[in-house]
Chain A
Amino acid sequence: MKSRLIKLKPSGARIEVAEAGKGRDLLFLHGAGGHLPNDPLLAALASKYRVVAPLLPGYGRSEGEDGLRDMLDVTLHALDVMEALDLKKPIVVGHSMGGMIAAEMAAVARTEIARLCLLAPAGLWLDDRPVVDIFSKLPYELPALLFHDVEVGKKLMTAGGGNMDDPEFLKQFLVMNARRLGMAGKILFPIPDRGLAQRLYRIAAKTLIVWGKEDGLIPAVYGDAFRTAIPKAKLVKIAKAGHAVGQEKPDAVLKAIREFF
């Protein structure tokens, strides 16, 4: 994928945008972990769509995170980015935290988003099926939490290379982690609920919800809760897939999107 920087008005903050593929515009909003190195989902989507994937401030080369403190800040920021990218009736796809942001965008700006795809989105909380606390997890615990097939997950997550025993690499990793999850924490910590449940009824977009049946972070039962609350929604559950459903089963997710839109 290629990436470029755009400048947001009026702050002048730079936003990194990854782009690939040809076809209909598809805006992709990543989860709290950012893009994977050689992300298989982005590659699959780019085989059929023009994928435009901005990075949230705090991720990669995107900046301006100090000015984003709460859900409304983040939602309006994402709408600003979408406007600046000048996309043509895009399918808005968001994974996990990105799904939460996409759902908020569609609820707030209901006339601007007509096609919405939520991949295991965050944003709801069920007392009897709590979402796992991602912030207290150690790096080595993540593959098992995010993937049904742990070995595949490990390979995908460490594809960028790097040795945790090397102090310099560790420092860089900690800085990156602090920036990313520090930003994510503003809408996900300590409980990823910022009142989305009471706004979901406003979503006018045709909505596809996709969930990995083996999601160990946000259990698949949350998919049913989203489907019930969003007016024009369909839920697809994918077997043998964890929370990183798109990275673990990219072809199945692409197929679901193609069939629905």
Chain B
Amino acid sequence: MKFTWFHLMPWPHMPDDFRQKHRSVWVDLPNRMYEPELGHGIYHRYLDQLEYAESVGFDGIGVNEHHANAYGLMPSPNIMAATLTRRTSKAALVVLGNSIALYNPPLRVAEEFAMLDVLSGGRLVAGFPVGTSMDTNYAYGTIPALTREKYAEAHELIRRAWAADEPFAFNGRYTKLRYVNCWPKPIQRPAPPIFIPGGGSVETYDFCLDNTYSYSYLSYTGYLRAKLLMEGYWKRVAERKVDESPYRAGFAQVICVADSDAEAERLYGPHVSYFYNRCLHVYPGFADAPGYRTVKTIQTGALSQFTQSGRDYPSMTWKDLTENRYIVAGSPETVRQQMEEMIKSLRVGNIFCLLHIGDMPDDKVRHSTKLFAEKVMPHLRNLWPEWNNHDDRFWIHPMAERVPMKVAAE
């Protein structure tokens, strides 16, 4: 198993009456709510937490890209990952990822990811999301029905740019470059491991299988509801007659660990509520621009998680969230049991652990993280012995001898 400690980096100062005062945490929330001088401390606390996660033994540390929102403050995850290259030394840097349809030209992603891979000595996991509709269409203006075609072209350009040893011409529909010449190029050849965040469209299953990319389902509704979707993926894997390595798949999970189940509710309840009721408070009109999802995908019933379940969150109690496994929370033993059930039932080799939740203060983040690392993670390490608990195709290949950093990780 590979465990990545993932940070969303939310704005932790949304007021108590946030839902009443604002229709959306994304797209049109006035940025007067953002206070840059507070933001300074928040960014550094969040980066400290990612570095701490490496020090307690997580395999990867993760960041991602979002725009115009208080849910996640990383318009450029690459800037965050760049700071981490100098203060960490072992963990995979999981950038999940860059919304490649949004870059003009998308070659920028090939270049920046190559920079990160070189800086980190070959520790980059590269993610290529389409991006949420809020980010891609409403905040960045991409025409919904052309988003996927643009994405596919950007992907082709990036892979060719990494593979080439000499300049070449790229005559795309959306990008025309007479000289594609990616300096620098990544350490990991032909490319860093690539993870694709997906939400249940068949096209994405095939895209991952065609290219040997890991399919990552990032959901906040827990593993019981994820089962149907992941079964669809594994069914497709079987149909395509490729191997069933669990590392072909990953899942994101909100996790809270305390000394007892009751203590978990007491410690983390308010922050979980902040996350579900404020961070996920998205106006349905921004969740799914018409044309963003293909007709085929809508017909399979895969709608945005922001359109479907958002309405239920305000009425959900801690009991609802834990019993229905939206979150995995409790004592180390409770969490271990549920994690094992999840990993086996979804057949996933990668877990993206969300241990910072909503407006959780630093001491609680570290407490929960430490308990997970010391009392849960070791018991979950050997769940895929037939795969030797590792799949070379879906994990990083750091260079053997890296230069020592002058600034040591804490």
Residues of chain A touching chain B, judged by Cβ–Cβ distance below 8 Å, are 65, 69, 135-138, 171, 174-175, 177-183, 185-186, 189-191
Contacts and interface: CB of A to CB of B under 8 A. Distances in A.
B290 A185 contact: yes
B290 A181 contact: yes
Given A175-B299, A178-B298, A185 B293 contact: no
Among B141, B291, B292, B293, residue most surrounded by chain A Cβ atoms (within 10 Å): B291
Contacts of A180: 290
Contact of A189 (B143, B283, B284): B143
Given A138-B284, A182-B144, A185-B144, A190 B290 contact: no
Q: Which 8 A-B pairs have the closest CB atoms?
A: A182-B291, A181-B290, A182-B145, A136-B285, A190-B141, A178-B290, A185-B144, A185-B291
B354 to A, nearest CB: 28
Interface in B138-160: 138, 141, 143-146
Interface string B279-315: 0000111100111111100110101000000000000
Given A136-B283, A190-B138, A185 B143 contact: yes
A171 B144 contact: no
A119 to B, nearest CB: 23
B137 interface: yes
Given A185-B143, A186-B146, A177 B290 contact: yes
25 contacts: A69-B173, A136-B27, A136-B283, A136-B289, A171-B299, A171-B301, A177-B290, A178-B291, A178-B294, A178-B298, A179-B295, A180-B290, A181-B291, A182-B290, A182-B291, A183-B145, A183-B291, A185-B144, A189-B137, A189-B141, A189-B143, A189-B144, A190-B138, A190-B141, A190-B143
A77 B83 CA distance: 51
Interface residues of B, number: 24
B137 A190 contact: yes
A219 to B, nearest CB: 20
A66 to B, nearest CB: 9
Given A69-B146, A186-B146, A136 B291 contact: no
Q: Most chain-B Cβ atoms within 10 A of its Cβ — which of A178, A180, A183, A186?
A: A178
